Amino acid sequence: MKKMFFVDAGTTWSKLVVLNDNKEFYNEYKNYFVKSSDIKSYYILPSKLIKQMNISFDYTTGHMAKLKNKNHNNHYNEIIALANGVKKKIENEKEAIILDLGSRDSKWIRFTNGKFCDLDWNVSCGSSTGATIEMLLKFYDLKSYDIKYQNEKYNFTCGIFAFEKIMDDISHGLTPNDAISRLIHGIAYNSFCFANKPQKIYLSGGFCNFNAYLTSLKKYCEVETLGRFLLCEGLINIQNP
Amino acid sequence: MDKSTIGFCGYPDPYIINKLKVQYPDACWVDLDVELSFVPDYKILPQVYCKIIKNIVNNAVYYKDKLITIIMATGREKCDSAALASVILKNMGFNIIETKYENIETIKKEPIISTSSLPLVEKIQLITKEIIEPIDKTKLNRVNPRFGFWGVPPNDLSILNLFPDDTHVYGWTRCVEMGVPACYETEIMVDENVPTVFYSQAFCAKASLAKYLSFKYNGLYVDIDDIATNSIVAKIEAFINLR
């Protein structure tokens, strides 16, 4: 069986699914191995590593991946990959909003009766997302599990203003954990508003594993997590519809 | 300096255009609405402002020594911003002919280019070219629309390459081809079952129509300032791929 690579290369992390993985690849990248299922092996690697790898990928999405594609015709924009990844999952839903929250952007698509209906992709104002949180956690030497849900939230329209609030509150005695938690609650509320305040959100991306974010978002709507590999699954569905 | 050029913007009154063509048969006509890569920004207008109107003023200043006159549409068929640009250019010493072409009773011409099989960018370039010179449409084939593009000619024409050739043109651009650039009723008419991208140039009043119509017909609303961002390109690509 031919080995195939499907990669979603984001700003900081790349999600990679290898079909018919072999020991050679696994041995080299086992530190980044996440799980395997049937013929699929799942990896999450830093995107800077993806750039250095001596591999051409079969199907790609994400702006960091295009140059590494074997065939540029097999590079898909992230919304197309997302939509193809979720199609089967929501085909019987009357309405479904899928929100993908990335490292520096957020995007949503809406399906009505299993049919693609609407979308939005927010780069500039959605910039206060995953990468911001990662930088803050590193700066304050915290792990994501240190951050617990807070009922209070920061209302902000721009990441710079959010930073100002965090720094201010910490200088007045709030712990960094609590300040970051309020930011995360603010991000959750902003993403709920960005998705047009639906009753339910299907969530994709790294925030699926972040409890403080999920608890915050669940305050506003029902949430079903779809994990970090949805875009890769979309590429696989495109390759083999 | 030999003055050999006539600048125009929008859809000036055809009667005045024809008079000028007789008066200056050898003049070269320049559409001042269009961004020209070699023309600098003279920073006369605010930085955050309609890019098309900025093009008009910058192009006018660039061609100043060659311009016989500028014929400017300043009525309902264009916009208030163009009327104000005209005030500024006149005050700067340009020879301006203002026209208002608001007659909506004219018999509407068939939108042959708008519904043809030409690539979308060629359709739109041909429609604007026809403002000044007649176009032979006899060899154009009509296609059924798979997609629609509603709006004015965008500053960034490259976004039009994202659409398949069986995209019909709607909105102001089609009104231009039909000879009724001020007819709002025609402007808001679309084929309701055709997935359509409703385009607005940033800071243009027509954004209200684009947003409203996109909601009414379940289309995609996009608003672009100067050059389309990756996000906008991806949105249009996704809309076309998924609908």
Residue B158's domain comprises: 120-242
pLDDT recorded at residue A103: 77
B238 part of a folded domain = yes
CATH (domain of A158)? 3.30.420.40
Question: Which residues of B are less than 8 Å from A122 in CB distance?
Answer: 231
- Whether A108 and A189 share a structural domain: yes
- Whether A143 and A105 share a structural domain: yes
B229 contacts A79? CB cut-off 8 A: no
CATH (domain of A58)? 3.30.420
Q: What is the mean pLDDT of residues A119-136?
A: 75
pLDDT recorded at residue A32: 94
| Number of independent structural domains in chain B | 2
Task: With beta carbons less than 8 A apart as the criterion, state whether A201 and A226 touch.
Answer: no
pLDDT at B56 over 60: yes
- Whether A114 and A170 share a structural domain: yes
pLDDT recorded at residue A69: 62
- For residues B205 and A105, give the distance between their C-alpha atoms in angstroms, rounded to a whole number: 28
**Mean pLDDT over all residues of chain A?**
88
pLDDT recorded at residue B53: 97
Q: Which of A144-153, B123-132, B227-236 has the highest mean pLDDT?
A: B123-132
pLDDT recorded at residue B27: 96
Which residue, among B96, B58, B53, B101, has the nearest Cα to B206 in the 3D structure?
A: B53
- Whether B125 and B219 share a structural domain: yes
B114 part of a folded domain = no
* B237 vs A77, A109, A122: nearest CB: A77
User: Is A167 in the B-facing interface, judged by CB distances under 8 Å?
Assistant: no
pLDDT at B60 over 90: yes
A120 contacts B234? CB cut-off 8 A: no
Q: Which of A4-8, A141-145, B123-127 has the highest mean pLDDT?
A: B123-127
The 3-state secondary structure of chain B, one letter per residue: CCCCEEEEECCCCHHHHHHHHHHCCCCEEEECCCCCCCCCCCCCCCCCCCHHHHHHHHHHHHCHHHEEEEEEECCCCCCHHHHHHHHHHHHCCCCEEEECCCCCCCCCCCCCCCCECCCHHHHHHHHHHCCCCCCCCCCCCECCCCEEEECCCCCCHHHHHHCCCCEEEECHHHHHHHCCCCCHHHHCCCCCCCCEEEEEECCCCCHHHHHHHHHHCCCEEEEECCCCCHHHHHHHHHHHHHC
Question: Which residues of A are less than 8 Å from B214 in CB distance?
Answer: none
| Number of independent structural domains in chain A | 2
- Whether B200 and B93 share a structural domain: no
Residue A60's domain comprises: 4-76
- Whether B21 and B90 share a structural domain: yes
Q: What is the mean pLDDT of residues B47-63?
A: 96
A80: distance to nearest CA of chain B, Å?
5
- Whether B47 and B84 share a structural domain: yes
User: Is A58 in the B-facing interface, judged by CB distances under 8 Å?
Assistant: no
B50 part of a folded domain = yes
A79 contacts B220? CB cut-off 8 A: no
Beta strands in chain A (DSSP E): 4-9, 13-19, 33-37, 40-46, 59-61, 75-76, 95-101, 106-112, 115-122, 200-204, 222-225
- Whether A136 and A223 share a structural domain: yes
Q: Which of A143-152, A185-194, B17-26 has the highest mean pLDDT?
A: B17-26
Task: With beta carbons less than 8 A apart as the criterion, state whether A59 and A207 touch.
Answer: no
- Whether A228 and A193 share a structural domain: yes
B104 part of a folded domain = no
- Whether A37 and A129 share a structural domain: no
pLDDT at A56 over 90: no
B108 part of a folded domain = no
User: Higher pLDDT residue, A71 or A26?
Assistant: A26
- Whether B127 and B64 share a structural domain: no
CATH (domain of B31)? 3.40.50.11890
A123 contacts B235? CB cut-off 8 A: no
- Whether A82 and A11 share a structural domain: no
pLDDT at B126 over 80: yes
DSSP state of A12: S
**Mean pLDDT over all residues of chain B?**
95
User: Given pLDDT bands bounded at 50, 70 and 90, which one contains residue A68?
Assistant: low
pLDDT recorded at residue B6: 97
User: Is A28 in the B-facing interface, judged by CB distances under 8 Å?
Assistant: no
Where among B40, B64, B99 does a domain terminate? B99
pLDDT at A186 over 70: yes
* A116 vs B229, B230, B243: nearest CB: B243
Where among A76, A105, A138 does a domain terminate? A76
- Whether B83 and B177 share a structural domain: no
- Whether A64 and A135 share a structural domain: no
pLDDT at B103 over 90: no
pLDDT recorded at residue B68: 97
Chain B interface, best mutation among A118, A122, A127, by max B CB count within 10 A: A118
A118 contacts B218? CB cut-off 8 A: yes
A157: distance to nearest CA of chain B, Å?
19
Type of residue numbered A60: T
pLDDT at B183 over 90: yes
- Whether B158 and B126 share a structural domain: yes
User: Is A105 in the B-facing interface, judged by CB distances under 8 Å?
Assistant: yes
pLDDT at A62 over 90: no
pLDDT recorded at residue A113: 87
User: Higher pLDDT residue, A209 or B29?
Assistant: B29
B156 part of a folded domain = yes
Where among A59, A76, A93 does a domain terminate? A76
- Whether B149 and B214 share a structural domain: yes
Q: What is the mean pLDDT of residues B140-152?
A: 97
* B218 vs A109, A117, A122: nearest CB: A117
Task: With beta carbons less than 8 A apart as the criterion, state whether B193 and B146 touch.
Answer: no
- Whether B128 and B211 share a structural domain: yes
B113 part of a folded domain = no
- Whether A230 and A157 share a structural domain: yes
- Whether B31 and B86 share a structural domain: yes
- Whether A99 and A52 share a structural domain: no
pLDDT recorded at residue A157: 72
B106 part of a folded domain = no
User: Given pLDDT bands bounded at 50, 70 and 90, which one contains residue B1?
Assistant: low
Where among A32, A51, A76 does a domain terminate? A76
- Whether B170 and B233 share a structural domain: yes
A122 contacts B231? CB cut-off 8 A: yes
- Whether B125 and B224 share a structural domain: yes
pLDDT recorded at residue A13: 86
pLDDT tens-digit map of A87-99: 888 988 999 999 9
Q: What is the ipTM for the molecules in this complex?
A: 0.72
- Whether A151 and A206 share a structural domain: yes
Phi/psi at B68 (5° precision): -70, -50
- For residues A98 and A91, give the distance between their C-alpha atoms in angstroms, rounded to a whole number: 13
B237 contacts A119? CB cut-off 8 A: no
